Amino acid sequence: MFHSDRMWSCHWKWKPNPLLFLLALYIMCVPRSVSGCANCRVVLSNPSGTFTSPCYPNDYPNSQACMWTLRAPTGYIIQITFNDFDIEEAPNCIYDSLSLDNGESQTKFCGATAKGLSFNSSVNEMHVSFSSDFSIQKKGFNASYIRVAVSLRNQKVILPQTSDAYQVSIAKSVSIPELSAFTLCFEATKVGHEDNDWTAFSYSNASFTQLLSFGKAKSGYFLSISDSKCLLNNALPIKEKEDIFAESFEQLCLVWNNSLGSVGVNFKRNYEIVQCDSTISKVIPGNGKLFLGSNQNEIASLKGDIYNFRLWNFTMNSKILSNLSCNVKGNVVDWQNDFWNIPNLALKAESNLSCGSYLIPLPAAELASCADLGTLCQATVNSPSTTPRTVTTNMPVTNRIDKQMNDGILYRISVVIQNILRHPEVKIQSKVAEWLNSTFQNWNYTVYVINISFHLSSGEDKIKVKRSTENDSRLVLWALLVYNATNNTNLEGKIIQQKLLKSNESLDEGLRLHRVNVRQLYLCPAVEEPEGFKWPSIVPSEYTLPCPEKPGFNVTRICFYNASNFSETYWGPVDISNCLKEANEVATQILNYTADGQNLTSANIIDIVEQVKRIVNKEENIDITLGSTLMSIFSNILSSSDSDLLESSSEALKTIDELAFKIDLNNISHVNITTQNLALGVSSLLPGTNAISNFSIGLPSNNESYFQMDFESGQVDPLASVILPPNLLENLSQEDAALVRRAQFTFFNKTGLFQDVGPQRNPLVSYVMACSIGNITIQNLKDPVQIKIKHMSTQEVHHPICAFWDLNKNKSFGGWNTSGCVAHRDSDASETVCLCNHFTHFGVLMDLSRSTSQLDARNTKVLTFITYIGCGISAIFSAVTLLTYVAFEKLRRDYPSKILMNLSTALLFLNLLFLLDGWITSFNVDGLCIAIAALLHFFLLATFTWMGLEAIHMYIALVKVFNTYIRRYILKFCIIGWGLPALVVSVILVSRNKNEVYGKESYGKEKSDEL
């Protein structure tokens, strides 16, 4: 028994060993093969493709750390679109998350926030990382990506075959200089074998006279230089009747020098020289227009494409040309976007261009299902077998799809597919695309599908069973169908729907068509934006309008459809820069409009200032002609009323300063621009010198101009002058000193732009003088700047205050500031001399209260309260006195009491009107203000008159005691006491302008209506 038990025990110990070994081997090996996510750390360099989270569309596994690196060639960016997105949601995405690194910033997503959105990289590489924790699992994401060309090096130009189709020319900002020699290189292709005349490029002047061109004529290939044709057949290594260009790109370089009269031709690594004596000493004029293709109706353009057109204003030898690389940029014209004005429809991106860059596509990963990988699976990556069309530049950034290049009627097809065998969504999308293409193939209507994507079920596509449940096997796909109605035959959505329902059986095994909805795509609405540009109601496509006021120029706008909802269409942004007129032309129109400045409203002035500001900001250098026109515009504006100038004053002053800084001196020492209401003087400064000329402006000795300027010795009796200190530039840094090349002086004859709206303000009594050095700020000078300014009237100015215009004061409305400026003792009644330690707009103010310089704001406020309290007490007791005499008849029987009653009445009304004056002024009614001011004057005079009459009565009563009876004593006193002040006020109102005496003009808009 013991033996048998021992044998059984040994047998039991030996039997499980193979099982344990296999179990251990499975535990160690299987997780390593499926859980490491090795295949979800992938570099994707195909032109386009898709990738998904692990196990998509099933839930992704736990503890994943995936990284996709999307890489494109230099000159491209990457656009990624999340077709589906469902990751565990949490605050700050602390559990499961997807991170998107676009080269500039990193953004983290979770939940369903990124579904349907598109993102662009800032460089040619984008990183997408996905991580999951140990707990909750979700469906994950499905993303597609595409390469976007952003450099002209990756695009060729399709030459226009008719001159009215479109034009490919150099940009307006590119100026071609006068050429006595050049080297020109470009690549070209030709379609077909027609033996017709053509032109590859042409350079002409404003009257379209050909100055330089290359092409083919009956006599052969030629280079035309200023009406001289040089035949190049002998220099080209081609056979008779053979085209120089074929279906693949070939580079041709042409070299010319007017001193030798020879043309060098470099083609297919062969360099030959052709003598062309007729071009000796000829010069190709500058400032012409360069076109790719022909710019004349008589000669056709090369039927093909051009690429990498470069131009230099010097000659290159054969050795340099044979080793010419893509990095050698043309110093006159180069193959970059900044040098060309090319319509979008003329551009086509390709990956095999000689100076473009591309990556060799890596083989796509095989699509694996979770059934093949067990409980854990890998991420999938899919790329199309054929290269799709490449998206060019200027595409919208987010949630957009490319513009429709082909015209046609668009339909949105919504299909609900029942996924019986639970195929992955990527496979379903591919199978449905094949089914749609086969369904519409060889149909009576010319249609094709251009887009297909998954979409959340909503509206007419709503599915009763939620997609997140396991029992749901239905998916919603949206497709975009284009119908080319070439024979004007109408195609209804019902016909498309019936066609799809009939072909249900041709779907792939395991897929069943559940529902179909077809809807014609909405049109972009007809709009007028901006004013004068009327865009019609069209299907999503590109539409071109002629410029309303610029014949021969067009503006293009694109009608887009929304990628997430094909039924929504909208107009893209419009760029009307091509329709804008030249600055001189626009400025002349504004000048004519402002010829009568008195008729301009405040809104008109704001709009005009904004237009002039745009002109000044756009121009880098402003010549004297344009500068004079702009200064005349501001002069006309200054003829308007001060109230109309108030709102635009700050922007107008800034624009005038910028205009003065941009005036082109053009190698001359001084520039003078004078107008009726303001004048501008600009003086050049020699670098490294401290001797700066003084500036003065005065009335001219003749009537040839409005003002006369002097930059050196100064005038005898100027309206304004500026004396700069000799050590002005000593304390400047080296950087600032290098920028100092000019000094600007502006004189304002009318001061409507300088209206101080602050609570405490003094009237401006002088002209305004502005001065600045270059475009730098100079302040805290050791030796001050001396500004001498004439007063606008000859009346004596009490306590003149030197101030500068502070643009930041009063909430950027501007206001006068006295910091850093003092009045010199040499000032007199006709002019004031100011000393300031900085530069800006200077003026002289008059201190009406004669105490502003001694009293600060706090003390002024205290005195104001004391004044109002004292007047209130006086009014109260005057009223008490008057009421006492009215109530008790016995008190008012004698003459002194009656005189006192009249005096109290005058005092009462004087104090009441003074106390109520500030409140009445707030109504801003001119007539009411004048009436209150006149009454204040009247009761003030009446008070003093009754005081005088009381003194006369006391003299009669105390000195002339006897024989002093006067008939109707009080009546005569009342006639004098009330009549004399009334007579004085009436004479003033009749003899002078009431606004000058009692109105607000003399005291400011917010002052009390005092005398």
Per-residue model confidence (pLDDT) at position 502: 81
Q: Taking Cα atoms as reference points, which of 288, 271, 295 lies closest to residue 200?
A: 295
Say whether both 71 and 93 belong to one domain: yes
Q: Taking Cα atoms as reference points, which of 317, 282, 426, 443 lies closest to residue 368?
A: 426
Per-residue model confidence (pLDDT) at position 66: 93
Say whether both 142 and 160 belong to one domain: no
Q: What's the distance, Cα to Cα, between the start and end of the chain in Å?
A: 139
Q: Are 146 and 288 in contact (CB under 8 A)?
A: no
Residues 6+ apart with CB under 8 A from 606: 647, 648, 651
Residues 6+ apart with CB under 8 A from 574: 529, 530, 533, 555, 557
Q: How far is CA 953 from CA 331, 562, 886, 904, 977, in A?
A: 103, 97, 21, 16, 13
Range of the domain at 249: 153-349
Say whether both 535 and 501 belong to one domain: no
Query: What's at 683, amino acid-wise?
Result: S
- The 10 Å Cβ neighbour count of residue 972 is 12
Please give the DSSP secondary-structure letter assigned to residue 404. Answer: P
CATH number at residue 300: 2.60.120.200
Say whether both 838 and 870 belong to one domain: no
Total length of the chain: 1011
Say whether both 190 and 134 belong to one domain: no
- The 10 Å Cβ neighbour count of residue 90 is 14
Say whether both 531 and 622 belong to one domain: no
Say whether both 426 and 552 belong to one domain: no
In a domain, 826, yes or no: yes
Q: 553-557: long-range contacts (C-beta < 8 A, 24 or more apart)? A: 553/578, 553/579, 554/578, 555/579, 556/343, 556/344
How far is the C-alpha of 573 from the C-alpha of 570, rounded, in Å?
A: 10
Say whether both 199 and 239 belong to one domain: yes
Q: Taking Cα atoms as reference points, which of 732, 723, 739 lies closest to residue 774?
A: 739
Helical H segments across 718-761, by residue range: 734-739
Tell me the two tokens of residue 316.
Answer: 């290159």
What percent helix, strand, coil does the chain show, rounded to 5?
A: 30, 30, 45
Rounded to the nearest angstrom, the gap between the alpha carbon of residue 561 and the centroid of all alpha carbons in its chain is: 25
Tell me the two tokens of residue 752.
Answer: 């409507």
Q: Are strands 262-267 and 831-836 parallel, antiparallel or unpaired?
A: unpaired
Tell me the two tokens of residue 185.
Answer: 């290189």
Tell me the two tokens of residue 487.
Answer: 């024979």
User: Largest Cα–Cα distance in the chain?
Assistant: 174
In a domain, 7, yes or no: no
Q: Are 219 and 231 in contact (CB under 8 A)?
A: yes
How far is the C-alpha of 176 from the C-alpha of 285, rounded, in Å?
A: 9
Q: What is the DSSP string of 158-172?
A: E--SSTTT---EE-T
Q: What is the DSSP string of 41-84?
A: EEEE-SSEEEEE-TTTTSPPPSS-EEEEEEE--TTEEEEEEEEE
Q: What is the DSSP string of 303-322?
A: SEEEEEEEEESS---HHHHH
Please give the DSSP secondary-structure letter assigned to residue 246. Answer: -
Please give the DSSP secondary-structure letter assigned to residue 764. Answer: B
- Cβ density class 399-419: b for 16+ within 10 Å, e for less: ebbbbbeeebbbbbbbbbbeb
How many domains in the chain?
6
Say whether both 898 and 947 belong to one domain: yes
How far is the C-alpha of 186 from the C-alpha of 308, rounded, in Å?
A: 5
In a domain, 471, yes or no: yes
Peptide bond into 61 cis (omega under 30): no
CATH number at residue 875: 1.20.1070.10
Rounded to the nearest angstrom, the gap between the alpha carbon of residue 852 and the centroid of all alpha carbons in its chain is: 45
Q: Are 723 and 694 in contact (CB under 8 A)?
A: yes
- The 10 Å Cβ neighbour count of residue 715 is 15
The phi, psi pair for 49, rounded to 5°, reads 170, -170
In a domain, 782, yes or no: yes
Q: How far is CA 935 from CA 546, 579, 938, 1002, in A?
A: 67, 62, 5, 18
Please give the DSSP secondary-structure letter assigned to residue 284. Answer: B
In a domain, 388, yes or no: no
How far is the C-alpha of 805 from the C-alpha of 816, rounded, in Å?
A: 5
Say whether both 639 and 768 belong to one domain: yes
- Return the HEC string of 652-682: HHHHHHHHHHHECCCCCCEEEEECCCEEEEE
Which residues sit opposite 145 in a β-bridge?
Answer: 49, 80
The phi, psi pair for 366, rounded to 5°, reads -70, 140
Say whether both 83 and 184 belong to one domain: no
Q: Taking Cα atoms as reference points, which of 267, 247, 256, 279 lies closest to residue 186?
A: 267
CATH number at residue 492: 3.30.70
In a domain, 13, yes or no: no
In a domain, 745, yes or no: yes
Say whether both 590 and 568 belong to one domain: no
CATH number at residue 719: 2.60.220.50
Instruction: Report mean pLDDT in 10-residue bins for the chain, 1011 residues.
Output: 43 49 48 47 86 90 90 78 89 89 85 82 86 89 84 84 78 90 94 87 88 91 91 85 87 90 90 90 91 85 93 86 80 89 79 61 34 36 36 30 48 80 74 79 73 56 40 71 68 83 77 81 80 80 78 77 65 73 80 73 87 86 89 90 87 91 83 90 70 75 76 78 81 70 87 81 85 81 87 73 86 84 84 86 65 61 89 92 89 86 93 87 81 91 93 85 76 92 90 63 42 36
- Cβ density class 286-316: b for 16+ within 10 Å, e for less: eebbbbbbbbeeebbbbbbbbbbbbbbbebb
In a domain, 424, yes or no: yes
How far is the C-alpha of 423 from the C-alpha of 512, rounded, in Å?
A: 12
